Amino acid sequence: MQQSALNSPGLPVTLIAGLALQVVGVAMLEIVINLYVLDHVPRKELNSFEPRRMFYAGMVFIICPWAGIYLQTAVMPGLTFLLVGIFAVIFLVFFWRMRLSENDAFQPAKKPPPKPLNYIPRFVSQARLRLAWVLAAGRSSWWIMYFVYMPIQLKASGFSSEMTGAIVSAGLVPLFLIRVWARLGRKHGIRPLLIVGYGAAGVATLAAGLASGWPTVSIVLILTAAVFATVIDGAGNVPFLRAVHPYERESMTAVYMTFRHSASLLTPGLFAAVLVVAPLPAVFVASAGVAICMAGLSRFIPQKL
C-alpha cells in the first residue's frame, strides 16, 4: 500500500523508496504464505496444491501486464499504483478477518528470535535445500528476462507500448495449463518435468535471441519458451516444500525465499555485463544458458519426488 503511494508520483526518490518497501513487503508476505502452506497442507498433497495455487493466480499474471500499461498510458498516470494499493488493503482486511493468529499452528514467540544469518549455514549444509534454491532462482531469472528485457526488445523492434503489454500477457496464457503439467508431474515425477521444462525453455529462448532480426519469428519463439516456463511453474516450490524438515520450516523458509530477490539482483547484473560487450539479443542467449544449466541440475532431484 505504501509502495503504491510512493510510486504514483513518478519521482526518482519516491520510486526508490516504493521499490524498497515492495521488496520488504513481498518478502514478508511470501514467508508467511509458505509457512501457512506447510502448516495446513499435507506433504503428500503438495505436488497437487502448488500447481493449483499457480493456476488460480494465472488470471492476474495474464491480465496485469497489458492492463497496467493501458491504465498508465491511456487512462490516467498513477492509476495502476492506486489500484494496487486498493487491492493491498483488501488483501490485508481478508487476512485480518481470517484471524490467523488464533490458529493453534500460529503461536507468538516466547523468546527473542535468533539472527537470520545464523540460518544460512544450516540451509547451505543441506544439498536438497541448496538445489531447490538454485532451481527457484533460475526460474525467477528467466521470468525477469521475460518481463523486463523482452518488452525492451519489442519496443526496439517498433511495437507500441500497448502491443508490447499484450504480447507479454499472451505469453502467460499457458499458465492455465499448469494443472495439466501437474498431472504429468504426479504421473512421471517432478524431475523429468523440470528437465524438459528448463531444457525446452532454454532452447526456445536461444533460438529467439538468434532470430532477433526477424521480430515475428523471435516473438513466436519466446512465447514458445514461455509455454515451457509454465511447465517449470507447474512444480513451483515443491522441491523445497518436500525437502524441508518440519522442525525447520520457519528458519529454512526465511532463507529459501531469498531466491527471488537474489535473482532480481544477480540477473540484471549478469545481463548488464553481457550488454557491455554485446547487443540486446545476447541477453536472450545468456538467459537460455542459465535455463539449460538448470535443466542439468534438475537431474539431481530425487526420483521419488
d(CA 150, CA 154): 6
Taking residues 232-246, what's their average pLDDT?
80
Q: Which domains does the chain have, with CATH numbers?
A: 114-300 (1.20.1250.20)
Question: pLDDT tens for residues 82-104?
Answer: 887 788 788 778 777 766 555 55
Residue 246, Cβ density class (10 Å: 0-12 exposed, 13-18 middle, ≥19 buried): exposed
pTM of the model: 0.72
211/189: higher pLDDT: 211
Contact 179, 52 (CB under 8 A): yes
| pLDDT score at 244 | 83
Report the chain's C-alpha Rg in angstroms.
20
Instruction: Return contacts of 23-30, CB within 8 angstroms, 24+ apart.
Output: 23/261, 23/264, 26/260, 27/257, 27/258, 27/260, 27/261, 30/257, 30/260
